[in-house]
Amino acid sequence: MKYLIVGLGNPGEKYSETRHNIGFKVVEKLTELLGGTFRTDKLADVSELKFKGRHLVCIKPSTYMNLSGKSVNYWMQQHKIPKENIVVVTDDLALPFGKLRMKGKGSDGGHNGLKDIQAVLNSTEYTRLRFGVGNEFNKGQQVDYVLGEWSNEERETLNKRIEVATEFIKSYSTIGLQLTMTNWNNK
């Protein structure tokens, strides 16, 4: 069984520690925990991992957030991975900081990375793991907030929440979406 694990974010040091790059942080931690490394390849940094007999292809698109669909589609085709075996890890302003929620389908919620993936795949039928980044910003300051760095208070628990996010992904690849949602969505 092959799975495509997509961490959404923007390439480059400038964005490395921003809220918008939490998807990159989650796939980096998963790769570290499973003893893998990333290589720069077409349209993404890629890590191929083995976990309990599953083949996890983790990508960090190098296309920038708003063009993530191109990278997702390319790696789906390369590895012949169906939409049902994709997990997209994304930041979510609608969830409080650190709250994690997995869903099997849904709208883009105004997220430009998800919007592009849905346009390219012509579907909303793929799993997404939403990582809450909170919404502590003034009206009109959304872009500055998501492209801003974590607060000191957030940094204190950030790594623990990233590790929980990796557990969602490992669970999804072994026991599937429904049981993972049941077991993990309220942790």
Domain ranges within the chain, ordered by starting residue: 2-184
Task: Read off the pLDDT of residues 2-29 as tens digits, 9 standing for 90 and up.
Answer: 999 999 999 999 999 999 999 999 999 9
Is 79 a known active-site residue? no
Distance (Å, whole) CA 22 – CA 164: 13
User: What's the full length of the chain, in residues?
Assistant: 187
Architecture of domain 2-184: 3-Layer(aba) Sandwich (3.40)
Q: What is the DSSP letter of 135?
A: -
Name the pLDDT band for 50 (thresholds 50, 70, 90). Answer: very high
Angle between helices 112-121 and 68-79 in degrees, nearest 10 = 50
Q: Cα–Cα distance between 74 and 77 in angstroms, integer?
A: 5
Which position among 20, 55, 79, 111 bears the catalytic label? 20
Between 172 and 144, the higher pLDDT residue: 172
Burial degree of 55 (CB within 10 A; 0-12, 13-18, 19+): middle
Tens digits of per-residue pLDDT, 56-110? Answer: 999 999 999 999 999 999 999 999 999 999 999 999 999 999 999 999 998 888 8
